[in-house]
A and B are shown apart, each in its own frame.
Chain A
């Protein structure tokens, strides 16, 4: 068959499909056109055109049409509501438990420097200046000085909102960077974990040594349950990426990285959520001065317990119930 005859025979169908694809998402037209069938016959026509070595212009046009239809046919429908529910109830803690060794490693990378610096700066008043500048130290001290409480810390709801925005941008940014750094053979994640551990340990030690215990601990305990855990989890997800590059096992590095990416993202969704909760608590709950210290400590302890119980217990029973099939690579 000559090319012009071929084109004449199918022109109307191509035009119909083109029109249909242009009109966008409107489902009303869906009845008028059987997309899968139209797509399959289009594929066949492209194959024929290639086989018969018709001109590049025709093949390009058909290829383009196939691409557009292909996008429509293979559109993935994610974000179903019950998937999210399943993820929150079981998927997230199970994803964390599946990577438990990496999570412990991240915890160690975060806690050990924190302990060393914490004990160090508790006993040695000069050590904190190795980590931060005197200005920063002064800032921290004034922030948690019990004498300042009534003056500085009684703030309106507008300031709460300001701090909420700040915590979201700053803390979630840190967690995301910790995760992203992991892809550099894990080095970035290790750096951020250790760095944050050192910083935090120094502040804890110093504030405790100065004796601002009654303001500092009630402040940090509540959101710390979510924030510190989330930072560690983000680090663990990052380390997982790095591990796939350092030790890809029997797979090619690229394939191992892709698979690790899927695993890591399962942890990152939940981590993001935890950080939003943490920012919310930090801005609106931890900073409140009207709540008694004992209440704050009790609630804080309860939150820690809740987080640990969630990760150890949630999703153990529903072993295969509604489990999603992991995306293959």
Chain B
């Protein structure tokens, strides 16, 4: 399947699903992180300029910590999200979809340098696009994965159609199609829904609004509406 879905079977016997994140959002997230880091360093530079040479020493120390441990801190302490990743809804997890551990986070961020080679993360991007789950070298060695953090979806409301019993002999597939139509009534334009309903005109014998209303009523019934 040509798909970015990544699934893992847990000890509880269910499949967890996650969407692996590709190079583009990750590069953008990295850019945001670089921006923040530069901002912090610039701020520190101004603040420590008064401390002269000792200030420079502290500044170098901070720049070292930011360079190597900034991602580690956020990945472990902030649920796998650096500020940049948070901005793009990404998170780092172990490849069994558990929260990333210290060791794994350190390893993947130490190996960042190898991904950087030969220039500007070219190696990392190539490695990402070759693999199935967009893992760069550091991810491969540490056994980690960058996935999309799923957004909270607002609860959908069903169309207000009085439930109507479906005709007999409706296959499972047909039922699911009708349910989806009812559920997605807010996402699709009215015209498109009518168009879809018209496909079934030979069977339902109803056109446009009437046909759509009928299908919604059946869908609502199938979902258990009374």
The answer, among B99, B150, B176, B223, for a CB contact under 8 Å with A75, is: B99
- Give chain A nearest CB distance to B120 CB in angstroms: 16
Interface window among B140-148, B192-200, B203-211: B140-148
Indicate if the CB atoms of A261 and B141 lie closer than 8 Å: yes
- Convert B91-105 into 0s and 1s, putting 1 for each residue whose CB lies closer than 8 angstroms to a CB of A: 001000111011100
Indicate if the CB atoms of B61 and A183 lie closer than 8 Å: no
List the A side residues contacting B222 at CB < 8 Å: 2
B37 at interface by CB-CB < 8 Å: no
Q: Give complex CA distance A78, B99 in Å.
A: 12
Indicate if the CB atoms of A162 and B54 lie closer than 8 Å: yes
List the B side residues contacting A257 at CB < 8 Å: 140-141
List the A side residues contacting B98 at CB < 8 Å: 70-71, 74-76
Q: How many residues in A have their beta carbons less than 8 Å from beta carbons of B?
A: 65
Indicate if the CB atoms of B113 and A181 lie closer than 8 Å: yes
List the B side residues contacting A322 at CB < 8 Å: none
Indicate if the CB atoms of B142 and A55 lie closer than 8 Å: no
- Convert B133-165 into 0s and 1s, putting 1 for each residue whose CB lies closer than 8 angstroms to a CB of A: 000011011110000001011001000000000
Indicate if the CB atoms of A265 and B58 lie closer than 8 Å: no
Question: Contacts A55-B179, A71-B99, A179-B110 given: A158-B224 contact, CB under 8 Å?
Answer: no
B35 at interface by CB-CB < 8 Å: no
Interface window among A58-66, A118-126, A137-145, A204-212: A58-66
Q: Give complex CA distance A277, B103 in Å.
A: 21
The answer, among A43, A60, A67, for a CB contact under 8 Å with B153, is: A60
The answer, among B10, B64, B106, for a CB contact under 8 Å with A173, is: B64
A104 at interface by CB-CB < 8 Å: no
List the A side residues contacting B52 at CB < 8 Å: 158
A166 at interface by CB-CB < 8 Å: yes
- Convert A139-175 into 0s and 1s, putting 1 for each residue whose CB lies closer than 8 angstroms to a CB of B: 0000000000000000011111111111011001100
Q: How many residues in B have their beta carbons less than 8 Å from beta carbons of A?
A: 57
A188 at interface by CB-CB < 8 Å: yes
Question: Contacts A53-B176, A327-B103 given: A61-B153 contact, CB under 8 Å?
Answer: yes
The answer, among A6, A163, A180, for a CB contact under 8 Å with B112, is: A180
- Convert A230-258 into 0s and 1s, putting 1 for each residue whose CB lies closer than 8 angstroms to a CB of B: 00000000000100000000000010011
B70 at interface by CB-CB < 8 Å: no
Indicate if the CB atoms of B114 and A176 lie closer than 8 Å: no
A38 at interface by CB-CB < 8 Å: no
- Give chain A nearest CB distance to B98 CB in angstroms: 4
Indicate if the CB atoms of A265 and B107 lie closer than 8 Å: yes
Chain B: interface secondary structure? helix
Q: Give complex CA distance A261, B107 in Å.
A: 7
B12 at interface by CB-CB < 8 Å: yes
B73 at interface by CB-CB < 8 Å: no
List the A side residues contacting B179 at CB < 8 Å: 55
List the A side residues contacting B103 at CB < 8 Å: 78, 262, 265, 327
Question: Which B13-64 residues sit within 8 Å CB-CB of chain A?
Answer: 13-14, 16-18, 51-54, 56-61, 63-64
Question: Contacts A71-B98, A159-B53 given: A261-B14 contact, CB under 8 Å?
Answer: no
A47 at interface by CB-CB < 8 Å: yes
- Give chain B nearest CB distance to A262 CB in angstroms: 7
Q: Give complex CA distance A254, B140 in Å.
A: 7
A46 at interface by CB-CB < 8 Å: yes
Q: Which of B57, B98, B172 has the most CB of A within 10 A?
A: B57
Indicate if the CB atoms of B111 and A180 lie closer than 8 Å: yes
**B102 nearest in chain A by CB position:** A78
Indicate if the CB atoms of B110 and A180 lie closer than 8 Å: yes
Q: Give complex CA distance A241, B108 in Å.
A: 13
A329 at interface by CB-CB < 8 Å: yes
Q: Give complex CA distance A156, B138 in Å.
A: 41
List the A side residues contacting B53 at CB < 8 Å: 156, 158-159, 161-162
- Convert A47-59 into 0s and 1s, putting 1 for each residue whose CB lies closer than 8 angstroms to a CB of B: 1001001011100
Q: Which of B103, B123, B176 has the most CB of A within 10 A?
A: B103
Q: Give complex CA distance A111, B64 in Å.
A: 28
Question: Contacts A74-B98, A161-B54, A268-B110 given: A40-B12 contact, CB under 8 Å?
Answer: yes
- Give chain B nearest CB distance to A93 CB in angstroms: 19
- Give chain B nearest CB distance to A140 CB in angstroms: 21
Indicate if the CB atoms of A57 and B153 lie closer than 8 Å: yes
A27 at interface by CB-CB < 8 Å: no
A177 at interface by CB-CB < 8 Å: yes
Indicate if the CB atoms of B58 and A241 lie closer than 8 Å: no
Indicate if the CB atoms of B141 and A183 lie closer than 8 Å: yes
Indicate if the CB atoms of A74 and B57 lie closer than 8 Å: no
Indicate if the CB atoms of B99 and A76 lie closer than 8 Å: yes
List the A side residues contacting B64 at CB < 8 Å: 165, 168-169, 172-173
Q: Sort A-B residue pairs by CB-CB distance and give the 3 closest, nearest first.
A: A2-B224, A165-B60, A4-B224
Could you list 13 examples of A-B contacts with CB < 8 Å? A2-B222, A47-B14, A63-B16, A76-B98, A163-B57, A165-B56, A176-B113, A179-B110, A182-B114, A184-B123, A188-B114, A257-B140, A262-B103
